[in-house]
Amino acid sequence: AQSVTQLGSHVSVSEGALVLLRCNYSSSVPPYLFWYVQYPNQGLQLLLKYTSAATLVKGINGFEAEFKKSETSFHLTKPSAHMSDAAEYFCAVTPGTNAGKSTFGDGTTLTVKP
């Protein structure tokens, strides 16, 4: 069984400030973790993925995430927020099995203030 908890349904930051979106997971098998971004009325765009290689993962648009097994966390960060980062962000966990389903968190809406 697997689950994802995203702490904070809404996060608001000022432009240029640090972005921190929290994700904690639960998985009975070694997890594969993903962050997706969704702009209004659009699909899911993969930001980055953890696939059991490096624990610090860099993604697109300056985002990165660190896998911490001891904390069962995979928080998403960006050093300096840009107005274009305003969107919905989803954390997802997939088991390391070939047909394994992805389980998504509830999502975090990021607002960037000028």
Partner 1 sequence: EPEVTQTPSHQVTQMGQEVILRCVPISNHLYFYWYRQILGQKVEFLVSFYNNEISEKSEIFDDQFSVERPDGSNFTLKIRSTKLEDSAMYFCASGRGQPTYEQYFGPGTRLTVT
Q: Give the per-residue SS3 of 2-71.
A: EEEECCCCEEEEECCCCEEECCEEEECCCEEEEEEEECCCCCCEEEEEECCCCCEEECHHHCEEEEECCC
43 forms part of the interface with partner 1 (CB under 8 A)? yes
Mark the segment that binds partner 1 (CB under 8 A) among 18-26, 62-70, 76-84, 88-96: 88-96
Instruction: Between 83 and 99, name the residue whose CB sits nearer to partner 1.
Output: 99
Minimum separation from the CB atom of position 94 to partner 1 (A): 5
Q: For residue 53, report the phi and psi dihedrals to the nearest 5 degrees.
A: -95, -120
90 forms part of the interface with partner 1 (CB under 8 A)? yes
56 forms part of the interface with partner 1 (CB under 8 A)? no
Binding site for partner 1 (CB under 8 A): 32, 34, 36, 41-44, 46, 49, 51, 90, 92, 94-107
